Amino acid sequence: MVAVIFRLLDALRVFDLIYVLTSNNNSTISMSGFVRREMMDNGYMGYGSAASTALFLIIGLCTVVAIRMGRMKLSED
């Protein structure tokens, strides 16, 4: 279960691979890339901070859901 949660978190936080392979293309940008672009390139610190907070909440929600699903009993044996 820990490995599944870590892989999920890595998938949501991916930045470097997409940034390098697609040359920062707008049609293939990740959420982390969007946060970086808004904060660093455009100078919208508030908008970038809100997007990073949303990413944090999404990661937290996915982690809680994965933990809850791991605790569920699937059969009545």
3-state SS of 26-62? HHHCCHHHHHHHHHHHCCCHHHHHHHHHHHHHHHHHH
User: CA torsion angle for 37, 6, 57, 44 (degrees, to 10)?
Assistant: -10
Model confidence at 77: pLDDT above 60:
no
pLDDT tens digits along 10-35: 887 787 778 788 876 778 888 888 88
- Tens-digit pLDDT profile for residues 27-57: 888 888 888 888 888 888 998 899 889 988 9
* Model confidence, pTM: 0.69
Average pLDDT, integer, range 65-76: 73
Instruction: Tell me what pLDDT residue 71 has.
Output: 77
